[in-house]
Amino acid sequence: MTPAYWSIVIAFGMILIPRGFAIVGQYRLPGGFNYGASRDQQADLSGIARRGQAAHLNGIEGFAPFAVAVWMALELGANAQIIDQLALAYGASRILFVIAYLADLNPWRTLIWLAGIGCNIALFVVAVKAGL
> Which pLDDT score, from 0 to 100, does residue 121 have?
98
HSE (CB half, 13 Å, CA atoms) of 38?
11
Smallest CA-to-CA distance from 119 within 39, 8, 27 is with 8
Mean pLDDT across 91-116 = 98
Mean pLDDT across 104-128 = 98
Number of domains observed in the structure of the chain? 1
Mean pLDDT across 12-31 = 97
> Which pLDDT score, from 0 to 100, does residue 130 have?
97
* pTM higher than 0.85: yes
Mean pLDDT across 108-115 = 98
Smallest CA-to-CA distance from 121 within 69, 59, 80 is with 69
Q: Show the domain range for 117.
A: 3-131
What is the CATH classification number for the domain harbouring 60? 1.20.120.550
pLDDT, tens only, 34-80: 999 999 999 999 999 999 999 999 999 999 999 999 999 999 999 99
